[in-house]
Amino acid sequence: MKRNYHVFLSFRGTDVRQGFLSHLYAALDQRGIYTFVDSEELRKGEEISWTLMRAIEESHIAIIVFSEDYASSRWCLEELLKIMECKEKNGLMVFPVFYEVEPREVREGRENYKRAMDNHEYKFGKDSEKVKRWKKALFETGSLSGWELNDRDEADLIQCIVKELSIHLNRTPLHVAKYPVGIDSRVQELIWLSQKESADDDVMMIGLWGPGGIGKTAIAKALYNAMMRQFQVCSFLEQVREKSHRSDGLVTLQKDLLSEILVHPLTIYSVAGGISLIQERLCCKKVLLVLDDVDHMNQLNALAGKGNWFGKGSRIIVTSRDKHLLISHDKNYVYEVKTLKDDEARDLFGQHAFTNSNKVEIRRDLIDGALHYANNLPLALEVITVYDVDGEISLIQERLCCKKVLLVLDDVDDMDQLNALAGKGDWFGKGSRIIVTSRDRHLLTSHDKNYVYEVKTLEDNEAQDLFGQHAFTNSNKVEIRRDLIDGALHYADGLPLALEVRNLNGKVHCINSLKFLNQKSIEFSR
């Protein structure tokens, strides 16, 4: 649905129009937030006008200013019903402002709100369905997180409202996929399951489990886009597995998460310090957090340890290839992401293969073979088509069977990936070489005509040479105790990546580190 307004303001004109509301509207307008405020002309007659109905439907956010006489107006109560309907059906974000009333007055029907509802019951009848709907809407809205005036300065309250609305409105939807076939139905299923499995106020962790290339990240992005406007804090942390393995990777991810809510990011020196900050800053916030591609429990423990780290109604979405990791964590509902249905796979393949409406004749058995080898994995279906110089489309098997091919597949961890991209030796011409890197020896030995070469650690002299080249760049030769160097080599265990010592700026440079160790006479020990 097209959204023409950033904010819709619902209010009782006689209470706030000339004071608080006019100041709030001016502050929103100054920030460039396009706001709908009705005029008295629209409030003539008994029924809410079509113009107001449409304005509510076309807004991103609704602000309800609950004042003393709000519930005495049938107009306001009908607006409230429409707002809550759009919240449920269209994802409208709703925030209450309690202006010189307490939330419990609205929620429980006390004082002015009780008198107002008694009057409505007197007019429409004690068993009136209309009055029951109004009471239900007041209870639900009065239970939402919002702002209270109390003894607070009005100008300060308005600035807080404008600041938070700006954060919500500045959120940009994530790009999901070029051809998002089959994603929407899975997102709707996940939203339905999350509502079924957990109450609105519960903190829920949803695990998306499946092999690489099946579309977990795309589904997580689409789910994030569909839900993000319902939360105070939103964060999508991509490539957690890859980033966490870097130097200070977990600390960097913690900083990325906290940067969503902190105007001036705090310095985090350790994972433990980051955990304390996340708990402290997010425990009262309704949070939507996505952790994409998690492969180790220490990543979950550092970024989303327990449900009580986050405020009521928070949703934590985790994608992983490891089902055991997901079911071992706190309060997780695990959703298995399955391969595309046959018709979805054929549709996605067609959209990738026949771009720009270029329809060409390809043998049906080749298409069926491609779908079979791709095993209906979205990623495999995306790469299994090949384009030649003239834009003519063919399939890997047909196109490359007479070509001498050199193909490198790096960091493969799933047999479906191998089957989709390098199914059998007869896919490629004579003399072809297919090089595959993997941490899984069994995967390599199980595949067609593989010779498996074990990459061993560096010899001692090679390790010393590599360490020296990293440490002594730009011909900077310094005297460092031999036992410290030997200790570094011992702990690196001949691994090239471990020998590349990085300083705080991320540059390859270890002289200062070893100088410090030399000065302090720190010896290596286990």
CB 240, CB 293: distance < 8 Å: yes
The residue annotated as part of the active site, out of 68, 78, 79, 260, is 79
Instruction: Give the tokens for residue 66.
Output: 């609950």
Cα angle at 251 between 247 and 254, to 5 degrees? 145
- Contacts of residue 355, Cβ cutoff 8 Å, sequence gap at least 6: none
Instruction: Give the tokens for residue 166.
Output: 């700006």
- What is the Cα gyration radius of the chain? 30
CB 62, CB 10: distance < 8 Å: yes
Give helix 460-471 / helix 482-492 axis angle, nearest 10°: 110
d(CA 219, CA 181): 11
| 242 is known as an active-site residue | no
3-class secondary structure per residue, 113-157: HHHHHHHHHHHHCCCCHHHHHHHHHHHHHHCCCCEECCCCCHHHH
| Greatest Cα-to-Cα distance within the chain, rounded to the nearest angstrom | 94
- Nearest to 138, CA basis, from 195, 90, 84, 97: 84
d(CA 251, CA 266): 12
Q: How far, CA to CA in Å, does 199 sit from each of 220, 306, 315?
A: 21, 17, 11
d(CA 491, CA 483): 12
394 backbone dihedrals φ, ψ, rounded to 5°:
-145, 180
Residue 213 CB-half CA count within 13 A: 21
Q: What is the DSSP string of 513-526?
A: HHHHHHHHTPPP--
Tell me the catalytic residues: 79
